[in-house]
Amino acid sequence: MSLLVTVTGRDHPGVTAALMDVLTQHGASVEDVEQVVVHGRLLLGVVISGEGRGDAVLEALTQLAAELDVDVEFTPLDDVEPVPELRHHVVVLGAPLPPAALGGIARRLAACGANIERISRLSSWPAQSFELVVSGGNTVRLRHELAAEAVAQQVDVAVERASIYRRAKRLVVMDVDSTLVQGEVIEMLAAEAGCEAEVARVTAAAMSGELDFEASLRARVALLEGLPVAAVDRVRRAVKLTPGARTLVRTLKRLGWTVGIVSGGFTAVTDDLREELGLDHALANVLEVKDGLLTGRVVGDVVDRAGKAAALRRFALAEGLLPEQTVAIGDGANDIDMLDAAGLGIAFNAKPVVRDAADTALSVPFLDAVLFLLGIPRHEVEQAL
């Protein structure tokens, strides 16, 4: 039989070292150790076995606890090795994130037969987020139940199965319009051409999945016939990054990730974004130009829903990565195949049809909140800036 030694109290240097010294002196074997400090309070658990777990070591540990001004408890454990359970990482994010939301998530987890093993804070701003390590439960059911609770509590919840691929993800591919940048570039071009309302109606229907993307894009581009290149340049200069976009890309790059963009928009904008942000990969549509004017046509194949997914796979192959090592971020129906092809698909302030199809969804307006879904805490973001 093994013995769980639990030490709690005010944290200060030397507690763990002193505990290990006592165990060494009495010939105890250490099977497991876990330690956490929360706002200066220590919780240290050590599972010991062997001959050195008798009364002598208990007396020595009790005396040590008194000297260190901490509390110690002893709990006998069965020696039967527990069957490893499926584990998940559950990230809860909100601005704000009230106790009711955490309580609701915890109740849903329990109802799914899942147990919370550990909770740690990832960030306090620009949104508050916590990561829960959960054992037990079915992945599909957990996502369904927690997604429902997220809607009820008006927070975001991401569920990802614990695996070697979670730590091995190394490629992020993003949509551009209404994801990496604010708004839709084609609507900005349409405003220059005097047909903004008509183009906006078609764009909304296409992004909601009501229209075929390629057909809708060609129809919208046709309305831009005769627009001067100078107007395209004005739109390019007016494009604004989504809040947190620069932080997201800079952090990922400094942590050794590869970052790419795939857009149903146009290279007239994405070429500048690639250079400005130092992106590794980019794919977008090419507007045909003759005599300094748009012809109303697209050169070559349209980057559509299937094309985006194919681009993600191609980028991954070029980097020597498996699809499981990729993350995709998007907001429109034409992003769904790309989100499905990635190891983790994130719907960012997306249409309902996209939220339903994605692995997880973000509703906060900060793109760098994606980092928290990847398990990267705010203090590591700060170090990477």
Q: Which residues are tagged catalytic? A: 175, 177
Among 234, 221, 227, 235, smallest CA distance to 292 is for 227
195, 198, 199, 205 alpha-carbon torsion, rounded to 10°: 170
Cβ count near 245 (within 10 Å): 21
Helix boundaries (H) for the chain: 15-25, 55-68, 99-111, 139-153, 164-168, 185-193, 196-207, 213-222, 229-238, 245-254, 267-277, 305-318, 336-341, 352-357, 370-373, 378-384
Q: Side by side, which strands form the sheet with 87-94?
A: 115-123, 128-135, 87-94, 156-161
d(CA 74, CA 62): 10
- Give the chain's count of helices (H) and strands (E): 16, 15
Q: Is 126 exposed, middle or buried (0-12, 13-18, 19+ CB in 10 A)?
A: middle
SS3 at position 294:
strand
